[in-house]
A and B are shown apart, each in its own frame.
Chain A
């Protein structure tokens, strides 16, 4: 760009952007700050400097066993993502490298399953889960989250795989590579970044899924979404504890999210905006 950017222009834009950004981030920031206050401190009005106590964190763990919910969240989000990848890679692969006339229709149909409102199938799923003993089980919920995210996983992988140039495959075949060698030595190295991005985004989505994880669990399989929802009825002085629990619940995924901005755009727009 040849356009000269004046320092004044940049200063104004910077100030405006930072003010807006801090306002948007403020609820998260204030939650983190409050989590380092004592309960008494937390209700004494607006204050940005906490005393720095970590008693709320200790109490959240001691009272409600935060770690168990955290573990469930990790198992469910990572487990469902791995399962989805396992099922989706072959599908995306064949759609990207040997597309047929119906490939596009199948992709669109998969996308359409994503649009079915969860409430519409709430009771049938609830019944199936109850009758098969899957209610409040990690296995049941893992499968559920896998099914919810499978269309996105197939789509994302498909858009990544499609960018792998077909000539490379042909060259490998000319050189006499078998299908198996082709997959292991040629395609896999090129596909790994796309698969990693897909996994990252889907772990985030599964971690934050807050309909099925709340409705289909009670205690054993309950992840952090269900744990946090238990704070919905006020329990005396609980502002600092709520803040500590919230901070713990969002911190891991917030950090992962910061690293996946690009994939987020691509994954959530089904490749329409890159």
Chain B
């Protein structure tokens, strides 16, 4: 019943969303791209002007850049490994018949609803604090020296915090997928004498593969831009030990006012995200056809 009238009505109804998102995507990105080829410093406007690729060169030659890329990737990969493997195990555990399943689910999912600065500060002060934290209490109980997490292992500490926030997400989605697994298939496999491991490998894992893909892709988008957790715990330090790409760009732009370099960093972040997005879109798009 798609008459000319309904078709133009449809276009009219869609316009606000499309136009707004288009402006929101194109205008700031164009400005960033423009600034990335400019020398622009609000504190020192004398030398402003077009500088070609030298911002990229400066950003590239900055030792912090290499650190930040490495740290960004370390955070993404470590958190993904922890949450996917942990999520699969937890989902399989919660899929068992247990007493109080509703409450257990609520407890497990809760960290996901904690806003990032609260999560990071709670871990920093209540759990990992070298003097008053619970980890320190445990260490002292066993007669060990408490670990100064944010001084000695800042990146590990941040990875732990972020993994704690995302493990519930992975668990919930994998559990949802697990619950749609056909019980009869499982039984048939059991009847045929398939052991636990072979059932997991040939039946459960393939069934969850789509959910696992989705978890990896969506988490990657968010993990590439971890920010508040770093801001309230280590502030990127000591040195550049826990500076990731978003944090470096923020430092360049709003603390050092090196807008050109910050913009070059931003463009690099876009390229990085696009590589990920390319795979993400294909996976989600495939699911849409179903």
Rounded to whole angstroms, the CA-CA distance of A30 and B13 in the bound complex is 49
Residues of B within 8 A of A95 (CB): 10, 14
B149 within 8 A of A: no
User: Which single residue of chain B is at the shortest CB-CB distance from A107?
Assistant: B288
Rounded to whole angstroms, the CA-CA distance of A254 and B168 in the bound complex is 13
**A-B residue pair count with CB separations less than 8 angstroms:** 307
Which residues 9-58 of B have a CB within 8 angstroms of A? 9-11, 13-14, 16-18, 20-21, 24-25, 27-29, 31-32, 35
A133 within 8 A of B: no
Which residues 34-89 of A have a CB within 8 angstroms of B? 34, 42-43, 45-46, 87-88
In the complex, are the beta carbons of A42 and B132 less than 8 A apart? yes
B214's partner among A27, A254, A256, A269 (CB-CB below 8 A) is A269
Residues of A within 8 A of B167 (CB): 24
In the complex, are the beta carbons of B121 and A117 less than 8 A apart? no
Which residues 89-121 of A have a CB within 8 angstroms of B? 90-91, 93-95, 98, 100, 104, 106-108, 110-121
Residues of A within 8 A of B218 (CB): 268-269
Contact with A along B131-147 (1 / 0, CB 8 A): 11010011000000000
A199 within 8 A of B: no
In the complex, are the beta carbons of B113 and A150 less than 8 A apart? no
Give, as a whole number of angstroms, the nearest-CB distance from B275 to chain A.
10
Which residues 112-134 of A have a CB within 8 angstroms of B? 112-128
Rounded to whole angstroms, the CA-CA distance of A269 and B208 in the bound complex is 14
In the complex, are the beta carbons of A88 and B17 less than 8 A apart? yes
A228 within 8 A of B: yes
User: Which single residue of chain B is at the shortest CB-CB distance from A93?
Assistant: B13
In the complex, are the beta carbons of A257 and B245 less than 8 A apart? no
Majority SS at the chain A contact face: helix
Rounded to whole angstroms, the CA-CA distance of A150 and B18 in the bound complex is 10
Which residues 161-216 of A have a CB within 8 angstroms of B? 170, 173, 204, 207-208, 210-211, 214-215
B93's partner among A20, A122, A147, A210 (CB-CB below 8 A) is A20
Q: Which among B90, B109, B167 has the greatest number of chain A C-beta atoms within 10 A?
A: B109
In the complex, are the beta carbons of B263 and A123 less than 8 A apart? yes
Rounded to whole angstroms, the CA-CA distance of A6 and B288 in the bound complex is 40
Rounded to whole angstroms, the CA-CA distance of A113 and B280 in the bound complex is 13
How many A residues face the partner with a CB closer than 8 A?
98
Give, as a whole number of angstroms, the nearest-CB distance from B234 to chain A.
10
How many B residues face the partner with a CB closer than 8 A?
109
A120's partner among B125, B221, B269 (CB-CB below 8 A) is B269
Residues of B within 8 A of A257 (CB): 109-110, 112-113
Residues of A within 8 A of B231 (CB): 214, 229, 232
In the complex, are the beta carbons of A14 and B31 less than 8 A apart? no
Rounded to whole angstroms, the CA-CA distance of A241 and B203 in the bound complex is 50
Contact with A along B242-263 (1 / 0, CB 8 A): 0001100110011000010011
B77 within 8 A of A: no
Give, as a whole number of angstroms, the nearest-CB distance from B98 to chain A.
4
In the complex, are the beta carbons of B97 and A10 less than 8 A apart? yes
Residues of B within 8 A of A115 (CB): 221, 273-274, 276-277, 280
B232 within 8 A of A: yes
B66 within 8 A of A: no
In the complex, are the beta carbons of A87 and B117 less than 8 A apart? no
In the complex, are the beta carbons of B117 and A225 less than 8 A apart? yes
B197 within 8 A of A: no
Given A257-B112, A264-B109, 7 new contacts (CB under 8 A): A28-B122, A108-B281, A120-B266, A121-B29, A125-B28, A242-B122, A272-B283
A-B contact pairs, 28 of them (CB 8 A): A10-B99, A13-B98, A14-B99, A17-B101, A18-B100, A20-B90, A24-B164, A27-B119, A27-B164, A31-B126, A87-B20, A98-B2, A100-B7, A112-B277, A119-B225, A119-B266, A120-B266, A120-B273, A123-B31, A211-B225, A229-B117, A229-B231, A254-B110, A257-B113, A272-B284, A272-B287, A273-B173, A273-B176
